[in-house]
Amino acid sequence: MSRTRKLRKLSSILCPITWLAVCGLLFAAASFSVHASEAQQISFEDGTFDVYRLDADEVSKLRFYWKDEHGDPYKTIGRLRLSLQEQGKKLLFATNGGIYSEEYTPLGLYVEQGEKLGSLNMGQGSGNFSMKPNAVFYVDSNGAHIEDASMLSVSVEKMHDAVQSGPALLLNGNMHPRFFKESDSYNIRNGVGIDSTGGVVFAISNTAVNFYTFAALFRDKLDCNNALYLDGSISEMYLPELDRTFTFRFFTTIFGVTEE
């Protein structure tokens, strides 16, 4: 066989192998990209934020937790994780839910698995919850939503899960009217937003920020028109992908995603 024919034969063998290798690398890169988009640390203004995102078609993976099967509050993310582990489920992500009362009950509307466990609260008072407008983060048959608590577009009976908290960070792209860039009210903060595709985005600050910066994060960096503040200095996020595993504080409601 001539040297030219040998080279052509070798080329015909190597080309498919090379193509398969390239495809494999591209697939691996795509897989990594999809995986990395779920959990990431981002920089914004002068701080960093840890973010967990669920695409619109993954919202059904999100669970709301308050009490276990015996009616006892989980209280800590650590206890929730161990309880789920006993059920053969691995906790991938968790963060504390909305603001609660001194009795460790949800301060406002709370619905879990279709059961209403807390009523809509539109009363006046002091504190973040009473900085109107506050809002409701809920999931129904059409996906996830955040709406002004005084202007809900669906009845509570149609909500599969819901939690009321406040203040609203963004409603229809508009920032809460009482947020100012120069505010000196700094704290660790966590919140949830709905992005332009209908996905759910959770974020927590790694350093103290004011409400204005936190709301701007959701609007300018996370592609959200609607976002809700969850809580402040006590907030935690369990996210092993970003080495966030140390949790110990007491909460009332908790959001979680598991790998079953």
Q: What angle (nearest 5°) sits at the alpha carbon of residue 45, between those of residues 174 and 216?
A: 10
Q: Is residue 247 part of a domain?
A: yes
In a domain, 21, yes or no: no
Q: Is residue 30 part of a domain?
A: no
In a domain, 43, yes or no: yes
> Looking at the domain assignment, is residue 13 inside a domain?
no
225 by DSSP, 3-state: which? strand
pLDDT digits (tens, 9 = 90+) for 152-188: 999 999 999 999 999 999 999 999 999 999 999 999 9
Choose among 192, 183, 143, 188: nearest CA to 165.
Answer: 192
What span, in angstroms and rounded, lies between the C-alpha atoms of 236 and 18?
A: 47
Contacts of 115 (CB under 8 A, 6+ apart): none
Output phi, psi for 60, to 5 deg: -65, -15
66 domain-assigned: yes
Prediction pTM value = 0.85
Task: Write the CB contacts of 94 (distance below 8 Å, at least 6 apart in sequence).
Answer: 77, 80, 81, 237, 238, 247, 254, 255, 256, 257
Tell me whether residue 214 is in a domain: yes
Domain coverage including residue 105: 39-259
- Residues with Cβ within 8 Å of 85's Cβ and at least 6 positions away in sequence, in order, are 91
pLDDT of 29 above 80: no
How far is Cα 213 from Cα 225, in angstroms, rounded to an integer? 15
Count of CA atoms in the C-beta half-sphere (13 A) of 174: 8
Across the range 68-72, mean pLDDT stands at: 93
For 64, 93, 194, 222, 257, the CA distances from 37, given in Å and listed in that order, are: 22, 14, 15, 12, 15
In a domain, 126, yes or no: yes
Q: Kindly state the average pLDDT of the residues 127-131.
A: 79
- Residue 258 forms beta bridges with which residues? 91
Looking at the structure of the chain, the number of domains it has is: 1
The pLDDT assigned to 128 comes to 79
Mean pLDDT to the nearest integer, 103-122: 93
